[in-house]
Amino acid sequence: MSRKFFGTDGIRGRVGEAPMTVDFALRLASAAARVLAPQRGCVLIGKDTRLSGYMFESALEAGFVAAGVDVLLMGPLPTPGVAYMTRHFGCNFGVVISASHNPYEDNGIKFFDGSGGKLSDALELQIEAELAAAPVTRASGALGRARRVDDSRAQYQDFCRGTLPAGMNLEGLKIVIDCANGAAYKVAPRTLADLGAEIVPIGCSPNGRNINDGCGSTNLHLLQLTVPGVRADFGVALDGDGDRLMMVDHLGRQVDGDQLLYVLACARKASGTLKGPVVGTQMSNLGLELALRRQGIGFERVAVGDRHVLARLKEAGATLGGETSGHILCLDCTTTGDGLISALQVIAAIRSSGKSLAELAAGMQRFPQVLLNVAVQERFDPMQVASVRRAVEQVSATLGDTGRVLLRASGTEPVVRVMVESSDDKLTRESAEILAESVRSARP
């Protein structure tokens, strides 16, 4: 059975259009309650700063209470904070109302189990199956209760601070923090300030509509101007729900997820705490793989998506992985991708080494990468077409050991994604165009 509503990271869409409607949220809450807390129980709900979050929070609250589930309302809190607080309060499951890095017109709903991990495919399928039934309303004596616990977010801040080495603080550091006008706008600046850093906040004034708007990890322009402008040591950028991290060095240069993984891997190797290989995805830059190899650190690739990274880390008994976009998993610290905790781990590496972020990231040289989306009449696997395979073989032979090719069909639209990396920028672009043309001319 295939999933109709759940994607790779919960349910997401344009507000007011199916499935992101109030009636669907109510039915979803009732269905989730029947699967995840059939004998009463408790759910914790957190959200980002989108205007529509209040509406969906009320709908979910009504559905859960009617089904006999107690509800704890956290208000705005990063997605990883909801995962932690779900464990902290001993809830059966947690819910996040967020569309992550999407614009404010979108919203989404995603779930954590009682351990703070993502739901299995089997549980998501069970919830979808229950959506066909009408929402449950129990008798008055069996209804759940709802209460706000937003003053408990300080416990999440304490948890984040506790991931730093004992006795370490951030005194003497000047940090620009961009929270994308999103869920981390309170906890991230407060956590860094409590540790002694001088904080320059931007993207920390949400109005319900400005989440991810020209700020945050998906748009570093303002951060890149501000960091050298105020002579900060570095800048930290989170996305709308606080699970992704990008950074900027003191010169205003971007340090992306691949470079941050390199910094963290080297720091953990130096301290003797690195376990297993580093896990990236098919889109991780070739420069990361080669830089880790020079350090004697293993590296593995999985399909795109943090869900796949997490699964491989658990299989391999490893603790460090992530994506170029900045979704970094430090399983020796927490159960899910956490932008604030990842930032603290990078800062710990800076403090321990006595080097700047620029110096630490310099060990990994990003290879030029070109990504082209080639529109096709209908989705097909490009590597099953002989003419495309021949083009890939020819380009791969030309690139040699210092290049990489990846062709894959989009899972959501009639597009074939063509990615080429190599040490030569001109050759990379020319090779990508050759492959793109082979896809356009393909006869599947």
DSSP state of 91: -
Q: What is the pLDDT of residues 415-431, one digit of tens each?
A: 999 999 999 999 999 99
Residues designated as active site:
100
- Region for residue 5 given its phi and psi (left: phi exceeds 0; alpha: psi -120 to 50; beta: otherwise): alpha
In this predicted structure, the answer to whether residue 1 has a pLDDT above a threshold of 60 is no
In this predicted structure, the answer to whether residue 387 has a pLDDT above a threshold of 60 is yes
Side-chain-side CA neighbours of 426 within 13 Å: the count stands at 0
Residues 65 and 191 occupy one common structural domain? no
Q: Which of 341, 361, 381 is the last residue of a domain?
A: 361
Percent of the chain at pLDDT > 70 equals 99
In this predicted structure, the answer to whether residue 377 has a pLDDT above a threshold of 90 is no
Residues 357 and 378 occupy one common structural domain? no
Percent of the chain at pLDDT > 90 equals 93
Question: Residue 402: which CATH number?
Answer: 3.30.310.50
In this predicted structure, the answer to whether residue 105 has a pLDDT above a threshold of 90 is yes
Calculate the alpha carbon distances from 230 to 182, 248, 250 in Å.
23, 13, 10
Three-point CA angle 177, 255, 10, nearest 5°: 75
Q: Which of 395, 394, 383, 400 is nearest to 290 (CA)?
A: 400
Residues 41 and 129 occupy one common structural domain? yes
Question: Residue 288: which CATH number?
Answer: 3.40.120.10
Q: Which of 195, 185, 113, 122 is nearest to 158 (CA)?
A: 195
pLDDT of 378 reads 85
pLDDT of 306 reads 87
406 vs 304: CA distance, rounded Å: 12
107 vs 78: CA distance, rounded Å: 14
434 inside domain? yes
Q: Which of 150, 174, 192 is the last residue of a domain?
A: 150
299 inside domain? yes
Label residues 317-326 b or e (16+ Cβ within 10 Å = b).
ebbbbbbbbb
Domain that holds residue 419: 369-440
Which whole number is the average pLDDT over 249-258?
98
Q: What is the pLDDT of residues 270-295, one digit of tens each?
A: 999 999 999 999 999 999 999 999 99
Cβ atoms within 10 A of the Cβ of 410, count?
14
Q: What is the pLDDT of residues 315-345, one digit of tens each?
A: 999 999 999 999 999 999 999 999 999 999 9
Q: What is the pLDDT of residues 290-320, one digit of tens each?
A: 999 999 999 999 998 888 999 999 999 999 9
Residues 357 and 373 occupy one common structural domain? no
Label residues 296-313 b or e (16+ Cβ within 10 Å = b).
ebebbbbebbbebbbebb
**Does the pTM exceed 0.75?**
yes
- Number of residues in the chain: 444
Which whole number is the average pLDDT over 132-149?
97
Mean pLDDT over each residue of the chain, to the nearest integer: 96
Cβ atoms within 10 A of the Cβ of 131, count?
16
pLDDT of 213 reads 97
Calculate the alpha carbon distances from 255 to 217, 309, 343, 348 in Å.
11, 20, 12, 16
Residues 145 and 170 occupy one common structural domain? no
Residues 70 and 133 occupy one common structural domain? yes
Alpha helices, DSSP H, located in 327-424: 339-353, 357-361, 386-399
Q: Which of 85, 119, 150 is the last residue of a domain?
A: 150
Element (H, E) at 108: strand 106-113
